[in-house]
């Protein structure tokens, strides 16, 4: 009797331990996936924040710049068989150019017209780009697969299995972020951008050509979007409507971190990525897509300045 009870208790303990280990495994798997996709959202958010910081405008075509970057890389790498790294660089350059064009047609002429005009114009640009992508790379429902960069074998890190692809993407995302930080801190153009962001009038007074800085800002924001698209492409599929999906997630990340804060964009991106994976893992995969919208609405209503954003001053 006693012995049977003891065995029973022993079994229970073992079961619990197994369930516990399983939970930790799932937990760490979700965390790893969340950090990877979060790093990409952080890059998208970074592009949004760069543009917002210096122009106080959100480029609603940002997602489409991302999408174009992905398709450019696809065309170069898959269709023209250019190696991956040159494809990445060329796609980033292409996105940079589209970003500059966006500034020329949808921002610079409207800078004095006010926010509504700029937002409407960037929506116009986003639909033009989306339509062009649909014309060139196939209609709705055509999903293009980007070949993986490394062998699909998972790697074991401690107790967790990580797809090596994810690891590459994560490392690359960190490299892009660091490169961007260096650009901001050390180059002349980066310093001009910082100066313009903190005070456009003073920047004009010391001889910085503010409109040119805005142009490069749009270009650099687009280039970051292009880079994140090329990194993301092997993990996901490419289709013309992917841009808006990523834009919403990037915007959620940017708002969560404080729309004008670069470290905030990174923290926000990781949070959105992790949150999304946990929602998918513990509630259901369909919830994954909606979590970003919920984050945006709650962040805007209850946390309007973001986690790392400055306290807002009401302008009259």
Partner 1 sequence: MRLLLGNRAFLVVLFAALALVPVVANQYTVYVGNLMMLYIILAVGLNLLVGFAGQLAFANAAMYGIGAYGAALLQVKLGWPYWLAAPSGALMAMAIGTLLAFPALRLSGIYLALATLAFAQATQWVLLHWETVTFGAGGFAVPEPDFRAVGLRASDGIYYVSWIVTVLLVIFAWRVVRSRVGRAMVAMRDREIAAQALGVDLLRYKAMAFALSGFYAGTAGALYSAVLNFVSPEGFDLFQMVLHKSMVVVGGLGSIVGSVLGAALLVYLLDVLRQFKATQEIVFGALLLGFVLFQPHGVVEFFRRHVPGWDEPLHS
What are residue 155's DSSP bridge partners?
A: 162
Euclidean distance between CA atoms 214 and 192, whole angstroms: 10
What are residue 154's DSSP bridge partners?
A: 163
Smaller CB separation from partner 1, 19 or 135:
135
Smaller CB separation from partner 1, 92 or 225:
225
Query: Which H or E run includes 85?
Result: helix 84-102
Residues at the site binding partner 1, with contacts judged by CB under 8 A: 52, 57-58, 105-106, 109-110, 113, 115-117, 119-121, 123-132, 134-135, 139-140, 244, 248, 251-252, 255, 259, 286, 289-290, 292-294, 296-297, 300-301, 304, 316
Q: How far is the CB of 52 from partner 1 (least distance, A)?
A: 8
Q: What is the SS3 assignment for 21?
A: helix
Provide CB contacts within 8 A for 170, sequence distance 6+.
Answer: 35, 36, 39
Q: How far is the CB of 253 from partner 1 (least distance, A)?
A: 12
Smaller CB separation from partner 1, 40 or 248:
248
Smaller CB separation from partner 1, 155 or 290:
290
Smaller CB separation from partner 1, 128 or 181:
128
Euclidean distance between CA atoms 145 and 159, whole angstroms: 30
Smaller CB separation from partner 1, 165 or 261:
261
Residue 198 backbone dihedrals phi, psi, to 5 degrees? -80, -30
What are residue 23's DSSP bridge partners?
A: none
Token pair listed for 125? 């640009």
Euclidean distance between CA atoms 162 and 182, whole angstroms: 29
Token pair listed for 54? 């210096």
Q: How far is the CB of 4 from partner 1 (least distance, A)?
A: 46
What is the DSSP track for 25-46?
HHHHHHHHHHHHHHHHHHHHHH
Q: How far is the CB of 115 from partner 1 (least distance, A)?
A: 5
Euclidean distance between CA atoms 56 and 127, whole angstroms: 22
Q: How far is the CB of 292 from partner 1 (least distance, A)?
A: 8
Q: How far is the CB of 179 from partner 1 (least distance, A)?
A: 28
């Amino acid at each position: 009797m006693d012995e049977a009870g003891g065995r029973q208790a022993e079994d229970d303990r073992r079961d619990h331990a197994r369930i516990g280990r399983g939970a930790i495994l799932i937990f760490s798997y979700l965390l790893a996936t969340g950090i990877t996709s979060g790093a990409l959202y952080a890059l998208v958010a970074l592009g949004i924040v760069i543009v917002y910081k210096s122009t106080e405008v959100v480029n609603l075509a940002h997602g489409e710049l991302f999408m174009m970057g992905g398709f450019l890389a696809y065309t170069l790498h898959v269709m023209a068989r250019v190696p991956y790294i040159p494809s990445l660089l060329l796609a980033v350059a292409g996105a940079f150019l589209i970003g500059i064009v966006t500034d020329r047609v949808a921002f610079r002429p409207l800078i004095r017209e006010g926010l509504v005009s700029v937002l409407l114009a960037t929506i116009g640009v986003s639909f033009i780009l989306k339509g062009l992508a649909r014309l060139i790379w196939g209609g709705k429902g055509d999903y293009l697969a980007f070949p993986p960069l490394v062998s699909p074998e998972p790697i074991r890190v401690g107790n967790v299995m990580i797809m090596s692809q994810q690891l590459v993407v994560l490392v690359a995302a960190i490299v892009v972020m660091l490169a961007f930080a260096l650009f901001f801190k050390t180059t002349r153009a980066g310093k001009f951008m910082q100066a313009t962001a903190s005070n456009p009038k003073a920047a004009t007074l010391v001889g910085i050509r503010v409109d040119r800085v805005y142009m490069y800002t749009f270009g650099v924001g687009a280039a970051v979007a292009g880079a994140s698209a090329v990194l993301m492409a092997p993990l996901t599929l490419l289709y013309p409507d992917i841009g808006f999906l990523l834009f919403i997630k990037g915007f959620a990340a940017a708002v969560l971190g404080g729309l004008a804060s670069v470290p905030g964009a990174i923290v926000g991106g990781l949070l959105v990525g992790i949150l999304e994976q946990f929602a998918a893992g513990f509630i259901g995969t369909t919830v994954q897509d909606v979590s970003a919208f919920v984050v945006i609405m709650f962040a805007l209503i209850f946390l309007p300045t973001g986690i790392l954003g400055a306290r807002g001053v009401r302008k009259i």
